[in-house]
Amino acid sequence: MSFTVNQGEMLALVGPSGSGKSTLLNCLGLLDKPSAGVIRYEGKDITRFGKRETREFRRDTLGYLFQNYALIDNVTVGENLEVSARPRRGAKGQRGAVIAEALGRVGMAGREKELIHYLSGGEQQRVALARLIVKQPALVLADEPTGALDDANSAIVIDILREMSEAGCAVVIATHDADVRERCDAVYAVRDSSLVGSS
């Protein structure tokens, strides 16, 4: 397979269950390693990254959004966002403002003090989105981010990912959701390794 996703672009990975969408995302996110081939990010083959480059790539470039939200369950909304707020964002007070703004954008304003495990699935995914907004990654990998959500929450997730891509982020989404696919700029079918559509 061969494909490119540019800054400002949103790419849908589609294909039947077991075709390898999650595996591919995991390779892009350096959670798994392909047995052959190269994956270039800004010209560098990321599959050859050592420990340090891998850590820096994850910290500085990558944002992940999972179907099961992947939040720290037993702490608050605010604490989940704190871990993604970069040190360069300065003092704690300033970070607080950045976090508050991100929560506002996902319809969770003022919910910093609530514990994750009391939130609904849709609310948890919106916290995960706010965490991405705070992190400002250049590359977002999303594995069925709307897979467990109702239409209203799915729309929020896609709207925010769209906004992030329009702000210059590259977004790759593995999905079975036709609404998500339609909002993407291009669709890559993992099974037969061909670009089936773009706009």
Ligand X SMILES: Nc1ncnc2c1ncn2[C@@H]1O[C@H](COP(=O)(O)OP(=O)(O)OP(=O)(O)O)[C@@H](O)[C@H]1O
Beta bridge partners of 38: none
- Nearest-CB residue for Mg ion: 22
The length of the chain in residues reads: 199
What's the min distance (Å) between Cβ of 135 and ligand X?
24
Per DSSP, the three-state class of 86 is coil
Q: Would you count residue 67 as binding Mg ion (CB under 5 A)?
A: no
Q: Quote the DSSP letter at residue 141.
A: E
Q: Out of Mg ion, ligand X, none, which partner does residue 61 contact, by CB within 5 to 8 A per kind?
A: none
CB of 95 to ligand X, least distance (A): 35
Residue number with CB closer to ligand X (23 or 76): 23
Q: Which residues, 6 or more positions from 199, have their beta carbon under 8 angstroms from its beta carbon?
A: 185, 186
Token pair, residue 78, equals: 């605010």
**Which residues of the chain form contacts with ligand X (CB under 6 A)?**
15, 17-23, 174
Cβ nearer to ligand X, comparing 18 with 168: 18
- Does residue number 22 form part of the binding site for Mg ion (CB under 5 A)? yes
Query: Pairing state of beta strands 44-45 and 40-41?
Result: antiparallel
What's the closest the beta carbon of residue 176 comes to ligand X, in angstroms? Answer: 6
* Identity of the residue, 133 or 161, whose beta carbon is nearer to Mg ion in the bound complex: 161
CB of 65 to Mg ion, least distance (A): 13
Minimum distance, C-beta of residue 157 to Mg ion, in the bound complex (Å): 16
d(CA 170, CA 173) in angstroms, rounded, equals 10
Cβ proximity to Mg ion, 9 vs 143, nearer residue: 143
Q: What single DSSP character describes residue 31?
A: S
| Residue 89 to residue 82: CA distance in whole angstroms | 11
- What is residue 142's three-state secondary structure? strand
With CB cut-offs between 5 and 8 Å by kind, which of ligand X, Mg ion, none does residue 15 bind?
A: ligand X
